[in-house]
Amino acid sequence: MAEAIIPLASKPRFEILDGLRGVAAIIVVAFHLFETYSSGPREQILNHGYLAVDFFFVLSGFVIGYAYDDRWSHMSIWNFFKRRLIRLQPMVILGTLIGAFWFYFGAAPGFELVMQTPWWKLLLIMVLGCLMFPTPPSMDIRGWKEINSLNGAQWSLLWEYVANILYALVVRRFGIITLAAFVFISAFLTIDVAMNIDTFGLLEVRSYAKYTVIGGFGLTPDQIYIGVCRLLYPFFGGLLLYRIGWRINLRRGGMTLCSLAVAATLVVPHIGGESREWLNGLYCAIIILLVYPVIVAAGAGSELKGAKTTAICKFLGMISYPLYITHYPMIYVQMNWAAKHADAPVSTHIWVAVSIFIASIAVAYASVKVYDVPVREWLSKRYIHLKTKS
């Protein structure tokens, strides 16, 4: 029998979930802009913006289950990996290149390594970043010991890749009961980090961020542990949510209500103060374990109504990933400018921050239209196919 090669068609999208991803990405940019003026997690404006990463993981787990769970009889593991690489890697490369371009413009206080970095080492780190190769602390060229010194936001994409590998090799074979048990165990890890229980004695070094889930962006033992804990429950909880078919139908204003819910979780001030910090950890745990699955269930189960709302959701979904993965190099530049012009009028600082915010969205939009979509279409036509016998 002859073997025919046909494309693996995309499924209809959950447009509200796409829109929610965009809402969270926009708040992340604002969170990082305000972070420049923060003296620590307790004082951070839009205080819980870091929880957007955990929300992204819930969304990703749900969408991966929807997109691929019923395709494994027609799709190889390698084909799955190619599809995920084509979806994610082009923007990883662009984000790294943007980070390399702006690198020497980001020599803010605390980033003294920047001006000590020779051009050849910058190029080496750039190549490693484009290949999604995480760099250890010994190769840090900025001062924060990030997985990618050129683009701090890339750390969560590394964990996204880890989740995709686990899904393809192991977790996709789990039945609902096994998956539920796995998610239940993972929930304990979330609580361990959020409540600073520190079962394995790895969290003592993060005194700057006790009773939060901040972390996962480096290759030190504590950062690796936090990254694992932040990944497992949200991602595979989202997968479980898809498989059990739980949906909440908000008959009116589904996008509006879900967007407000997401925004509220991210902008709530730090809870508990210094005397009862554990309340902040409890808040983080509740949001990750309970609230985000409910929001995703509502976003997936509600109908999107109105041409204007639909257009907004499509736009937000289109720019969400590019915005997240390209904005952070400009945050480094903002940090440098703010440090060197601390005495500038408040209005000037606001102008610079707003300008960077607008520029981040413009870069994300342009990168989609000019680079990401054309590149992914070309790669998909060339490398993505499904083999069947006729």
Is residue 300's pLDDT more than 80? yes
Query: pTM for this one?
Result: 0.94
13 — pLDDT class (breaks 50, 70, 90): confident
Higher per-residue pLDDT: 2 or 292? 292
The pLDDT tens digits for 79-117 are: 999 999 999 999 999 999 999 999 999 998 889 899 999
The pLDDT tens digits for 246-258 are: 999 998 889 999 9
Can you give the pLDDT at residue 225?
98
Q: In terms of C-beta density within 10 A (0-12 exposed, 13-18 middle, 19 or more buried), how is residue 295 classed? A: buried
The pLDDT tens digits for 25-61 are: 999 999 999 999 998 888 899 999 999 999 999 999 9
Can you give the pLDDT at residue 251?
87
Is residue 273's pLDDT more than 50? yes
Can you give the pLDDT at residue 142?
95
- For range 268-295, the mean pLDDT: 95
Can you give the pLDDT at residue 348?
98
- For range 137-158, the mean pLDDT: 95
Q: Distance between CA 354 and CA 346 in Å, rounded?
A: 12
Is residue 233's pLDDT more than 50? yes
Q: What are phi and psi of 170, to 5 degrees?
A: -130, -60
Average of per-residue pLDDT values in the chain? 94
Can you give the pLDDT at residue 78?
94
Per-residue burial over 21-50, b if 16 or more Cβ lie within 10 Å, else e, is: bbbbbbbbbbbbbbbbeeeebbebebbbbb
Residue closest to 236 by CA, chosen among 57, 81, 71, 17: 57
- For range 188-199, the mean pLDDT: 97
Is residue 389's pLDDT more than 70? no
6 — pLDDT class (breaks 50, 70, 90): very low
Is residue 386's pLDDT more than 80? no
Is residue 2's pLDDT more than 50? no
